[in-house]
Chain A
Amino acid sequence: AVQLVESGGGLVQPKESLKISCAASGFTFSNAAMYWVRQAPGKGLEWVARIRTKPNNYATYYADSVKGRFTISRDDSKSMVYLQMDNLKTEDTAMYYCTAAITGGFDYWGQGVMVTVSS
């Protein structure tokens, strides 16, 4: 069965850093573009970051709201994807979902990890 399991969330203060991780299993991880999508409490979904596959040079893309502060990376040997979040702001408070895009849409989703930025 496909599994995406996020970890590393928590409570941090503004301007601090946090790194969240996602462990994937049950599908060919190296063939999937991986994304982080977030959802603020009671709000809609927002794409945050994307990383493509090795044939596409692991190209990365970011939402304007996080560009220059967040870094997505992947380790195909471990089937892991990461999101390094620096200079966090209160508006970054959200549930962060790891997702895998295979058909074009987001086929697989993790349960999510909560990140709270508050002083």
Chain B
Amino acid sequence: DTVLTQSPALAVSPGERVSISCRASEGVNSYMHWYQQKPGQQPKLLIYKASNLASGVPARFSGSGSGTDFTLTIDPVEADDTATYFCQQSWNDTFGAGTKLELK
């Protein structure tokens, strides 16, 4: 199975730009998706197929990458963005362990 590696945690100040990375152990083309999960809630799709903004998601969120290296960018970060962010590849369906984003 394809392993997805994410940094465990990041801390940023409101108004800043943050980039969350996801590295795949093998190429997944553009079949990479990003989710936001807040405590006690189900995950929410933010970005599909590497760079496409899901319906209703603010344009502050964007995605980039292909092959093995992918990035979710939030610019500017708002207080409500405190959450855990997961990447997921649909080449053979695995998730990253998640990056916990905290606001300073």
Contacts and interface: CB of A to CB of B under 8 A. Distances in A.
A45 to B, nearest CB: 4
B interface majority secondary structure? strand
A interface majority secondary structure? strand
B93 A47 contact: yes
Contacts, number: 55
16 contacts: A44-B95, A44-B96, A44-B97, A45-B98, A97-B42, A103-B52, A103-B54, A104-B33, A104-B90, A105-B48, A105-B90, A106-B35, A106-B88, A109-B43, A109-B44, A110-B42
A103 B46 CA distance: 12
Given A47-B95, A106-B43, 11 more contacts: A44-B97, A45-B35, A45-B43, A46-B95, A101-B90, A103-B49, A104-B48, A105-B35, A105-B90, A107-B45, A110-B42
Interface of A: 44-47, 50, 61, 97, 101, 103-107, 109-112
Interface string B23-37: 000000001011100
B43 A104 contact: no
For chain B, the bracket of interface size reads 20 to 34
A14 B96 CA distance: 28
Interface of B: 31, 33-35, 42-45, 47-49, 52, 54, 86, 88, 90, 93-98
A103 B33 CA distance: 10
